Amino acid sequence: MIKIYSPENVMEAQCLKDFLEQQRINCFIGGQYLAGAIGELPVTGLLGLYVEEIDAELAKSLICDYLSATPVFHSK
């Protein structure tokens, strides 16, 4: 598996993992258990999303599309 994205936090990592898995791309969150060690470890670069190399380009493209999407707001 290769790292394709460095999420800002565990919540973003989980949302993106769920999104990729909905697209049938196996995904692993690396470093999620190190977040509790902030203060003793560098704050950046702890989290990573990992996919199989064969899925890397598609996963990167999907994440880019996901992150650049405009939210839809419903008014009453």
Give the tens place of pLDDT for each residue, 54-66.
999 999 999 999 9
Rounded to 5 degrees, what angle do the CA atoms 37, 66, 7 make?
10
- Reported as a pLDDT band with limits 50, 70 and 90, residue 9 is confident
Q: Which two tokens stand for residue 38?
A: 């902030």
Asked whether 30 and 16 are in contact (CB, 8 A), the reply is: no
Cα–Cα distance, 52 to 59 (Å, whole number) = 10
pLDDT digits (tens, 9 = 90+) for 19-35: 999 999 999 999 876 65
Tell me the HSE value of 13 on the side-chain side, using a 13 A CA sphere. Answer: 23
Query: Is this prediction's pTM over 0.75?
Result: yes
Per DSSP bridges, beta strands 27-30 and 2-5 are: unpaired
pLDDT digits (tens, 9 = 90+) for 38-51: 555 555 667 899 99
Per-domain residue ranges of the chain: 2-68
